[in-house]
Structure formats: structure tokens, C-alpha cells
Amino acid sequence: MIRASNVDNTFRRKWNREEYLEKARERDERELLEEEERYKPKSRGPIVQRKPLKHRDHEVDLTSRLGKTQVVTQLAPLSQQAGYFCSVCECVVKDSANYLDHINGKKHQRALGMSMRVERATLQQVQDRLESSKRKKGTEGFTEQGQISV
């Protein structure tokens, strides 16, 4: 039939193509959102409420094994290996600096159930702290941060 060629029968197809592209765009956006949702830590399982950071309530023992000789074998438990052992994370750190980094670090604090958020101290707490530090000054070799104080 000759008549058929005079009709713009491509119209329908063009429109479909646009609709298709529009749908593809929407799908891309939706997938992107779903992706973001998936990687948001909040959406993964129950929300774990971690406590804010707390200062240590024990002395950091960095020196008790200093200068001692110990036989280290591959078969010895981690806590007997050379270096500093963290019983919370069950890992060994090579030296005291790295050990302090480790116990002040995110992974370790998380294992203790703490977030890295710091609770805001009240004026009274700060004053009490300064007062007790003044009283303690000179009596201990390590500061709260575990650094050696002179």
C-alpha cells in the first residue's frame, strides 16, 4: 500500500523511546538511592547504641615486661608473644607507642562498646579534675593519656 508511507508511523516509536529513557533514568536513580541506603550503617540491622568515650580507670602497664628476657615461640598464645597484647581485641602490638595508639583507637574503643563521641564535661567536672590532678601531681609517672610525664 502506498498510503502507508505518507503516514508518520515513526511517531509511536519515538515516544516509546523517550518513555523508555525516562524509565531507565528513574530506575538508575532508584538504584542509587537503594545503594546509598544499603551502605548507611544505620540501616544495617538493629541500631547499636554505643556509649560516649570514657577515660580509662586503670593504669596502662607499659613497663612490667621491660628488660626481661622471654622465650617466644610461634606456638605460644598471643598474650605470650613479643610486644604488647590487647586482651580486648586479642591482638599484639609491636611497641608501646603503637599500643597506646591502639587502645586510644577506634577499633579498640568499639570493642569496649564506646563510640568516639566525647561527652561534654560540666564546669564542675573540669574543676574537680584540675583539683585532683593538682593533688596527684608528681606521684605518678604516667598521665591520663598514658604519656610519660617528666
Distance between start and end Cα atoms, the chain: 103
In angstroms, what is the minimal distance from the CB of 137 to Zn ion? 29
**Nearer to Zn ion by C-beta: 116 or 130?**
116
Residues 33 to 92 in contact with Zn ion, rule: CB under 5 A? 86, 88-89
**Nearer to Zn ion by C-beta: 32 or 78?**
78
Q: How many residues bind Zn ion (CB under 5 A)?
A: 4
- H helix intervals, the chain: 3-6, 11-39, 96-103, 106-111, 123-136
Rounded Cα–Cα distance for residues 97 and 105 (Å):
12
In angstroms, what is the minimal distance from the CB of 77 to Zn ion? 16
Q: Can you tell me whether residue 117 is helix, strand or coil?
A: strand
**Nearer to Zn ion by C-beta: 62 or 88?**
88
In angstroms, what is the minimal distance from the CB of 59 to Zn ion? 16
Residues 85 to 114 in contact with Zn ion, rule: CB under 5 A? 86, 88-89, 108
- Name the β-bridge partners of 148: 142
In angstroms, what is the minimal distance from the CB of 150 to Zn ion? 27
Rounded Cα–Cα distance for residues 56 and 145 (Å):
9
**Nearer to Zn ion by C-beta: 114 or 142?**
114
99: buried, middle or exposed (CB in 10 Å: 19+, 13-18, 0-12)?
buried
Q: Which residues bind Zn ion (CB under 5 A)?
A: 86, 88-89, 108
